[in-house]
């Protein structure tokens, strides 16, 4: 009869799950919250305990393992969009395979036997010490070899931006661009550059239908908005900018009620609406300059 120590099963799975989630998060290059990863790791630990309960052996099947992984990704990273969720799911599965293969390789290299592996690695005959060492080695290798993938052009990092206007709130991903020194010449406030498609839902329904790439590149944009909603138009202004190939241009900008960068409110910051894509599938839709 196999004896299973529930506390050992939980804590070992919790530790390994957290490291796998953390590796997937760093691999993605997208912002993440360690509290959510910890909560997801706890859920994974509880699942492993349930697998050990007599009569619940069906939970160790491939289908339930996949369901458990999907729920862990949902808890750890949220949903956001199907594309974003699928990216995290695939990364987590990839990291799981890498970790599993690494543990197997280290164990066999240390003199272990293939038959020692059970349906669940945590209640096989693998020593906890060997397991932890193997997982740490895998995490280190992933961090070393894939560190560059989680970074973006210019070595910038990504962060979460929270924007509020009225009763509406959106969260998006921005690249921290040290070269972005755009500011409003009137208020001297810094400016966040965002793809217009990413923030369209933030605006009142009266102008959502016209808030597209054509409008924000139209020199008459302020006049067009003013004809629809004069009060709302007071929140808009044109901010001059320069870029490669453009000596002088204007970006339609909007002042929301609040902008938070890394959880800190940025007083007076504006949103400059970009008519073009800021990234091509790199996972962010905005550019923000250095903030405190």
From 123, 150, 177, the end of a domain falls on: 150
Largest CA distance in the chain: 80
| Chain segment 23-65, per-residue pLDDT in tens | 787 777 666 677 888 899 898 888 888 887 777 778 778 888 8
In a domain, 55, yes or no: yes
Predicted confidence band of residue 152 (pLDDT cuts 50, 70, 90): very low
**Residue closest to 266 by CA, chosen among 189, 202, 198:** 189
If asked whether residues 201 and 135 sit together in one domain, one would say: no
**Can you tell me the distance from the alpha carbon of 78 to that of 184, in angstroms, rounded to the nearest whole number?**
34
Neighbours of 135 (CB within 10 A): 23
In a domain, 130, yes or no: yes
pLDDT at 225 over 70: yes
If asked whether residues 138 and 252 sit together in one domain, one would say: no
129, 135, 138, 142: CA torsion to nearest 10:
-140
In the three-class reduction of DSSP (H, G, I as helix; E, B as strand; rest coil), residue 221 is classed as helix
If asked whether residues 145 and 158 sit together in one domain, one would say: no
pLDDT at 2 over 60: no
If asked whether residues 124 and 185 sit together in one domain, one would say: no
If asked whether residues 92 and 134 sit together in one domain, one would say: yes
If asked whether residues 142 and 157 sit together in one domain, one would say: no
The tokens of 99 are what? Answer: 């970790």
If asked whether residues 120 and 18 sit together in one domain, one would say: yes
If asked whether residues 191 and 279 sit together in one domain, one would say: yes
Contact 239, 182 (CB under 8 A): yes
**Can you tell me the distance from the alpha carbon of 194 to that of 274, in angstroms, rounded to the nearest whole number?**
6
If asked whether residues 131 and 170 sit together in one domain, one would say: no
If asked whether residues 163 and 136 sit together in one domain, one would say: no
Predicted confidence band of residue 249 (pLDDT cuts 50, 70, 90): confident
What's residue 146's pLDDT? Answer: 56
In a domain, 85, yes or no: yes
Residues of the chain with pLDDT > 90: what percent?
Answer: 4
Predicted confidence band of residue 165 (pLDDT cuts 50, 70, 90): very high
Neighbours of 287 (CB within 10 A): 22
In a domain, 107, yes or no: yes
In the three-class reduction of DSSP (H, G, I as helix; E, B as strand; rest coil), residue 190 is classed as strand
In a domain, 35, yes or no: yes
Q: Give the chain's domain count.
A: 2
In a domain, 31, yes or no: yes
> Can you name the residues that pair with 250 across neighbouring β-strands?
240
Contact 284, 158 (CB under 8 A): yes
Q: What is the CATH number of the domain that holds 157?
A: 2.40.70
If asked whether residues 240 and 107 sit together in one domain, one would say: no
pLDDT at 285 over 70: yes
From 150, 169, 201, the end of a domain falls on: 150
What's residue 174's pLDDT? Answer: 83
**Can you tell me the distance from the alpha carbon of 32 to that of 150, in angstroms, rounded to the nearest whole number?**
12
Predicted confidence band of residue 144 (pLDDT cuts 50, 70, 90): low
**Can you tell me the distance from the alpha carbon of 38 to that of 201, in angstroms, rounded to the nearest whole number?**
32
What's residue 244's pLDDT? Answer: 47
In a domain, 62, yes or no: yes
Contact 9, 29 (CB under 8 A): no
Question: Residue 140 sits in which domain range?
Answer: 6-150
**Can you tell me the distance from the alpha carbon of 63 to that of 285, in angstroms, rounded to the nearest whole number?**
35
What stretches of 158-264 show up as alpha helix (H) in DSSP?
196-199, 205-208, 213-216, 221-228, 230-233
How does the average pLDDT of the chain come out, rounded?
A: 76
**Can you tell me the distance from the alpha carbon of 78 to that of 88, in angstroms, rounded to the nearest whole number?**
9
User: What does the angle CA 156 – CA 23 – CA 283 come to, to the nearest 5 degrees?
Assistant: 40
If asked whether residues 145 and 162 sit together in one domain, one would say: no
pLDDT at 220 over 70: yes
| Chain segment 183-212, per-residue pLDDT in tens | 888 888 888 889 888 888 888 888 888 888
Using alpha carbons, list the distances in angstroms from residue 190 to 66, 186, 195, 269, 271. 45, 11, 17, 5, 9
From 131, 150, 169, the end of a domain falls on: 150
In a domain, 1, yes or no: no
Which pTM does this prediction carry? 0.53
């Amino acid at each position: 009869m196999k004896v299973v120590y529930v506390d050992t099963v939980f804590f070992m799975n919790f530790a390994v799950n957290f490291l796998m989630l953390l590796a997937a998060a760093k691999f993605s290059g997208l912002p993440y919250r360690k509290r959510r990863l910890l909560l997801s790791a706890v859920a994974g630990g509880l699942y492993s305990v349930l697998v050990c309960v007599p009569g619940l052996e069906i939970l160790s099947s491939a289908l339930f393992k996949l369901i458990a992984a999907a729920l862990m990704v949902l808890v750890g990273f949220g949903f956001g969009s199907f594309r974003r969720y699928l990216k995290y799911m695939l990364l987590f599965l990839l990291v799981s395979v890498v970790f599993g293969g690494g543990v197997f390789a280290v164990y066999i290299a240390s003199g272990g036997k293939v038959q020692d592996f059970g349906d669940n690695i945590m209640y096989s005959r693998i020593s906890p010490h060997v397991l932890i060492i193997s997982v740490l080695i895998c995490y280190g290798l992933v961090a070393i070899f894939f560190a560059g993938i989680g970074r973006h052009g210019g070595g910038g990092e990504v962060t979460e931006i929270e924007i509020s206007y009225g009763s509406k709130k959106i969260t998006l991903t921005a690249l921290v661009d040290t070269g972005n020194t755009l500011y409003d010449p009137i208020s001297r406030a810094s400016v966040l550059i965002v793809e217009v498609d990413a923030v369209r839902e933030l605006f009142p329904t009266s102008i959502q239908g016209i808030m597209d790439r054509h409008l924000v590149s139209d020199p008459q944009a302020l006049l067009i908005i003013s004809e629809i909603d004069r009060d709302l138009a007071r929140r808009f202004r044109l901010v001059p900018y320069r870029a490669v190939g453009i000596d002088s241009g204007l970006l339609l900008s909007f002042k929301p009620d609040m902008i938070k960068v890394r959880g800190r409110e940025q007083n007076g910051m504006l949103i400059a609406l970009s008519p073009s894509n800021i990234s091509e599938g790199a996972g962010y839709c905005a550019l923000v300059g250095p903030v405190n």
